[in-house]
Amino acid sequence: MTNSIGLDLHLDPGLPKQTEYRHFSKELLRKKVGRDKELTPYTSVDSKYRINPDLLAVYDFKKEPLLGKYQSVLIDRERGIILSKRGSKAHFYYFLKHKLISGLAFQKAIDQRLHYRRYHVISTEKRAYFSIHGYTDGCTDWVALHLMDDYQLSGSHAIKFSALKINDLDYSFTFDNCSRHIRSELTEGLRHTNLVFKILEYHLEDTMSWSIYRLRGKEKSLLDKQDYFTPAPTIAFFTMQEVCADLKRQKYLWYGQTMAEYFQLNFLERDHQLIFHLSQRGDNIY
């Protein structure tokens, strides 16, 4: 069975084991994919691919499609090299809308509380995806920090990530055309992820008496290595309930502003706050 570009389809082929194919970059993908037969068993097409814990990196080719039609290449440690006719933004859309608590609003709320002006990371409890160019940019590459062991800057505008060993083999992912502030952006992303973990941990243990345990026997990723970032301060004042309450108020504010604009009415924030307060009466035991 072959796919639309004549590549043989294999079930979960993993990543190529040859040394020359274990160090990914846009340059390598442009030169080798669809041309070198050695990569054929590891390459497939799936424009409906969904973000999952095995995703290592995403290279976006939307501005200059690979082989003339593929807008992104996703590197999955189980499925190998995946070509897609959709850009990286489209692939993250489902994940953002259906897998994250309050979508990007929650992620941005964390950054705002940390006084960060740039949005680069999307974090869950034990997963973090870092956007090389910031996810407010529609065309951006991504790397899974929870599967990375280390990183090195290459010149002033490139960064190379070394992955945790996969089947005892080393893999790396290089990204070019980075911001000159990429190191500080990555540090902020790691600190953001650490804070998200603490918020969830505090919420589950304090409110629900559940405990979150780190998996033992696993290699430590960048998320666990505090040599790369300063951990966020105590969050006794900073709880999941407070963040969600702020997001709820913000959502109602957007709704009120949009309603006023649609009906061409003056938006009176004082009246809006009164209506919001009255609407919360149902969420009370009294």
pLDDT at 280 over 70: no
Please report, as a single letter, which amino acid is at residue 169: L
CA angle 28, 185, 172 (to 5 degrees): 25
* Rounded Cα gap, residues 234 and 272, in angstroms: 34
* Rounded Cα gap, residues 253 and 74, in angstroms: 38
Mean pLDDT for the chain? 81
User: pLDDT of 8-64, one tens digit each?
Assistant: 554 678 999 999 999 999 999 999 999 999 999 999 999 999 999 999 999 999 999
User: pLDDT of 81-96, one tens digit each?
Assistant: 999 999 999 998 888 8
Q: What is the pLDDT of residue 135?
A: 77
Closest CA relative to residue 130, chosen from 147, 145, 150, 148: 145
Q: What is the pLDDT of residue 285?
A: 46
Q: What is the pLDDT of residue 191?
A: 86
pLDDT greater at residue 104 or residue 214:
104
Asked if 140 and 133 touch (Cβ cutoff 8 Å), the reply is yes
